[in-house]
Amino acid sequence: MPSKSDVKAWKAKLVAQAEQQILKLTDSDRFKQYLNTLAKFHHYSARNIDLIYAQNPQATQVAGFKQWQTAFNRTVKRGAKSIRIAAPIIKKLTPAEQKRLDTTDERAIVGYRYLPVFDVSQTSGEPVLSAKDFVKENLADHQNVTSLYNAFKDYLNQQTDLQVSEVPLATLNGAKGYFQPSTNEIVIGGDEPNNALKLKTLYHEYAHSQLHGLKSAFKDRPRAYQETQAEAVAYVAMQNIGVDTGNYSLGYVATWAKDKAVIHSALSEIQQVSNKVIELSDGLTKQLGLQEAQKDLEHDLKKLSTHDLNKSYQSLQQQVQQTTNSQQKAQFKNQLHEIHEEISNRTQKQLQAFAKKNPEIKQPDSEPDQSLKR
């Protein structure tokens, strides 16, 4: 058992190491790599993103040792070195402790432990499939990027107080689009032939609206800083859907990356907005992807592997949970029912086949246990 001071030193080292890596984000390539990590782990705290980035910049999906075995049927390779992420230890307070801390809260953080997790590249076994990969593959398709662009644009127009409109590129003086804080208006060059670039511009301008609009906390940042942030969010969002638009101008980092406090706040602002954008486009792609899946659902159900069947069952279940629209909910429930039927049919078939193969199991014990007679 290591001593308490050893543990403390080890923790301090982990954090210091992460910090150092962040301060090295002075060139565009490193910054991109950091943003790639951010795109993969957008829900994680800034500290944990830094920790993962510092320990394994290539990590794409992490899970604990046991979680890999139970949830993914994969095993961690022998000798693999774990990545540590911080997890708060929350404890219920006793009345005495509440008094001592001068609080009425029931729970408090009493410390942090550093959980060992492993990247998917450090494991082997069953392939990891997710519905998202499937959608991603589809998204690389030109047409699908366009439909995501339209879905995002419609969403912003209908569900928020932002206004998105398109004008000819010729009227924009060389820009691809702009955001007007006073009117909360996003304008995009509508005749841009490259649809991926169009989507990227929309992400960029949306990021401005979130980070630098009248209703946001960071509206008074210098221009260069704002542009870098917006471009970083657009980069993260495009990475997340797996579309590489090629040239990203992330070059402004060097000007503010020197100051530790500044880079931390800049990165966390980027993270906050990226998180929102990713969630939003994930939701929209799921809707788009689902519409496509619906057409084939009927005849393809029987062809799906059991694994995929379970996956789609889970994702549908989630959809049902999250949808508030009752009509949609009923539709999802119907699909859920169909998949449920198929799963139980298969299980029944397997069980019957198993019973046929192993008749001895099904036989009731006709002879009472001899040993008991004596």
Partner 1 sequence: MDNELTVIGSELPVLQAKGTYKYLKETTGNGAYYQVAWQKLADGYIALYGTTPIQINVAPILNDIFEDEEG
Q: Does 122 sit near partner 1 (CB under 8 A)?
A: no
Report the SS3 class of residue 110. strand
From candidates 77, 81, 99, 107, binder to partner 1 by CB under 8 A: 107
From candidates 105, 220, 360, 365, binder to partner 1 by CB under 8 A: 105
Q: Does 7 sit near partner 1 (CB under 8 A)?
A: yes
Q: Does 168 sit near partner 1 (CB under 8 A)?
A: no
First to last CA, the chain: 54
**Measured distance CA(162)–CA(185) in Å, rounded:** 6
Q: Does 72 sit near partner 1 (CB under 8 A)?
A: no
Q: Which is nearer to partner 1, 55 or 209 (CB)?
A: 209
From candidates 57, 125, 222, 283, binder to partner 1 by CB under 8 A: 283
b/e code 189-218 from CB counts within 10 Å (16+ = b): beebeebbbbbbbbbbbbbbbbbbbeeeeb
Q: Does 109 sit near partner 1 (CB under 8 A)?
A: yes
**Measured distance CA(21)–CA(17) in Å, rounded:** 6
Structure tokens at 231: 């471009």
> Looking at 28-36, 115-123, 245-253, 346-354, which segment touches partner 1 (CB under 8 A)?
115-123
In the window 216-245, what residues touch partner 1 (CB under 8 A)? 216-217
* 333, amino acid identity: K
Q: Does 25 sit near partner 1 (CB under 8 A)?
A: no
Q: Does 63 sit near partner 1 (CB under 8 A)?
A: yes
Does residue 26 contact residue 257 with C-beta atoms inside 8 Å?
Answer: yes
**Measured distance CA(338)–CA(345) in Å, rounded:** 11
Alpha-carbon distance values, 336 to 55, 74, 111, 341, 342 (Å): 41, 27, 42, 9, 10
Binding site residues, partner 1, CB under 8 A: 1-2, 4, 7, 41, 43-45, 47-48, 62-67, 85-91, 93, 97, 101, 103, 105, 107-113, 115-117, 155-156, 159-162, 184, 209-213, 215-217, 272-273, 275-276, 279-280, 283, 314, 317-318, 321-322
